[in-house]
Amino acid sequence: MLCVPVTATNTKEFLGDMRSASGVADLIELRLDYIEGLKKADIEALIKEKTIPLIATCRPKREGGKFAGSEEERLSLLEHAAALGADYVDIEHDVVNKFTKKSGTKLIVSYHNFSETPDYDKLREIYNGLAGADVVKIVTFAQEITDNLRIFKLLEEARTPTIALCMGEPGQISRILAPKFGSFLTFASLGSGKESAPGQLSARELLDVYNFHHINAETDIYGLIGDPVAHSMGPLLHNTCFREEGLNAVYLPFKTKDLPAFVNGFRALNVRGYSVTIPHKEAVMELMDELDPLARSIGAVNTVANKEGRLIGYNTDSTAATRVVEEGLAENGETLRGKKVTIVGAGGAARAVAFGLRQKGAEITIVNRTESRAESLARDIGCTHRKFGELASLDAEILVNCTSVGMHPDVNDTPVPAEILRPGMWVFDAVYNPPETRLLREAAGKGCRTLDGLRMFVLQAALQFEIWTGRPAPTEPMERIVRTKLAEAK
């Protein structure tokens, strides 16, 4: 079930938010502690307007809430809510014995840890200690994405109705996957600025992006490994495809710092496939059971498929980038053969792009601010490299940005000075968010012909979809979805 907490500071706004929440939620949590100068009359006014089940919560400051009054007053207010017909009352584990339960109201007995997720044995001890609960609630803070695994295990072994999730950005996946692992409910905000806990997604995002009400125990998991991942359009793109193709699957953002711990730990969840982005495209190769020949030749992986428990690494960046450049050139009757291409960057994306373009006969030069990385990549690809300061002297016909410079939110940055751009030069920016980067704006202003990274993003994602599912991907709708979403975000 989906529960939306209401966090308005006065009764009038609270009632308005309750009406809005009723349109998307299965339950509403009345965060009474947010109401300034809370009185019993406020509670009466709110519960009188109940249209769906309500949870009454009045969280004290010591538990991350806003109520600053006495415990006696707080418990009295919650008892009043129960007497008026609140379906559930959320009460902290350390004061549950002081609360007088009302007939017809169920108790959610909660434990919160705002700094970490304890080890599994400690979680079990906490769980077993929450006696007298109709619903057990354990909420911890995820410092690493692997902390979620302990929460998932706790849910799978639970015998009492249980809410268990992790706060913070790394914990967002626990909110999305709540129905898969049997959580009694998950929490989602009414909108930006209305969150009641860190890492809370909006209800609309859960429903529209992650197809929340279709997630169940049989749902296959896919996702994006990287850091950062919050900006990615991958969840929107792949989850839309899953929905359109009638597949019971969900694609998640996996913000990953410790790559080996993540890949090895998440094998237990039987994740069906991954996209891989900055900064893990090269390091992930060592963790694969097998490498596709193209990925091995390139020396970078951006796609992982789980084939009967074996993780196989692929690279779809190379094919996608080459196709984007070829499509652009073909409009002018040109080909890549013999074209002088300068690639800025020396990471996994640069490696894939350089390999693909060189295979088509282009003359590649690698430029990177850390020259040793450019030299190393040039040696692997079999091309030349130059110092970053020599950019202006290079006679490039095609300039490709394979760095993250200019990517959202740092949209005012550019990887190269505008002075090096010349009329007639092709400029391809692999950054797709925003579609028109500062580099591309300046290039167009100089009379260059430009190619944005969104087309590459869609093509590489389409190839991933085909590797994972064995089905052709709907590339035109995919590109339209992402362009529309990015345009709305401006």
Alpha-carbon distance of 272 to 464, in angstroms, equals 12
Maximal C-alpha separation, the chain? 82
317 part of the active site: yes
Alpha-carbon distance of 279 to 288, in angstroms, equals 16
What type of residue sits at position 25?
Answer: A
**C-alpha 15 chain-centroid distance:** 31
112 part of the active site: yes
Q: Which residues pair with 187 in a beta bridge?
A: 3
**Closest by Cα among 345, 402, 405, 341 to 369:** 345
Which among 147, 317, 429, 452 is annotated as catalytic? Answer: 317
Alpha-carbon distance of 320 to 231, in angstroms, equals 20
Which among 66, 80, 102, 137 is annotated as catalytic? Answer: 137
Which among 281, 292, 339, 429 is annotated as catalytic? Answer: 281
State the catalytic residues. 112, 137, 281, 317
